A = this chain, B = another copy of it.
């Protein structure tokens, strides 16, 4: 059994981690910390976990995370980087679900996240936890930077096109729609039911923190800097991301075959038949990314539709996928549940 610690488990990625890990046959959750909820039973905060998780949230100061084999950080940005150095030194492996280690250029990170980085030397070591690209490096990683929800859906959608070198990478467009859980479990007015329901809006058009993360990933695929316009939107559903991606084709190729071949061996990427339109609910509660590729009216613009559950493949599920890889377990263990539809 792998001894697991969770830092900061009171948000939606936290409860989703608990849902998955509490059903994982090779995991024993040792501790889950929360300064604010210390002493509260997990099942009191999340009644869905009654009878499954007997732990209480504990104060970070009172728990020896060094005894864990792996620690997940489901914290706000800027927390993990304060604690990772000592955990690694103690031999603990770390998976950070926040953004602290996602961006390799520390100056860029500091600009977008508005704080100095506490351990820039570890940024270089950290492996970006997108198994479809970095599987081998993840297996050996001490520190995994779990990708953001938007970046996962966008990168998996663009990947085959950019790797194949068949699109104009200077003018990529990612029009992405997220369910409201992506904004987290913080008490804020704009995500109240009466604000976000029966409503649709874009946000962060001038610049969103996931832009540099996506741009880095796509640039790595292209082996040169890409130009990307990224527009996130809030859509009135709980879970789900739908990325609609646009690129100009520079070469004629069988796009359907290209996508099917690229993802033929990927357990969590499902390329739909030609002409399909994936729905976010078809991956609800699952670790899948479903993708369809279109070339409307045979023109030179390719349209990719990519859907994930932002809390699973976009966060907690992918984190457990990374853990499975790091501990040489079957990659799909405990994250192979069927989506919940309807």
Contact = CB atoms under 8 A, between A and B. Distances in A.
Interface of A: 12, 15, 19, 22-23, 46-52, 171, 173, 175, 177, 179-181, 183, 185-189, 191-203, 205-207, 227, 229-231, 233, 235-240, 242, 244, 246, 248, 270, 272, 275, 277-286, 290, 292, 294, 296-297, 299, 301, 303, 305, 307, 311, 337-342
A290 B236 CA distance: 20
A274 to B, nearest CB: 10
Contacts of A270: 50-51
B185 A285 contact: no
A290 B173 CA distance: 23
Contacts of A202: 242, 244, 277, 305
B207 A281 contact: no
A206 B275 contact: yes
A342 B181 contact: yes
Contacts of A19: 338, 340-341
B290 A238 contact: no
Which of A177, A307, A338 has the most chain B CB atoms inside 10 A of its CB? A338
Given A280-B199, A296-B207, A48 B15 contact: no
A87 to B, nearest CB: 28
A340 B192 CA distance: 17
A238 B194 contact: yes
A281 B233 contact: no
A200 B280 contact: yes
Contacts of A203: 277
B299 A229 contact: yes
A35 to B, nearest CB: 16
Given A303-B205, A303-B231, A340-B285, A246 B173 contact: yes
Which of A180, A202, A233, A297 has the most chain B CB atoms inside 10 A of its CB? A202
Contacts of A244: 175, 202, 231, 233
B301 A12 contact: no
Contact of A238 (B187, B197, B227, B339): B197
Contacts of A242: 200-202, 233
Contact of A185 (B189, B237, B301): B189
A49 B290 CA distance: 12
Contacts of A229: 246, 296, 299, 301, 303
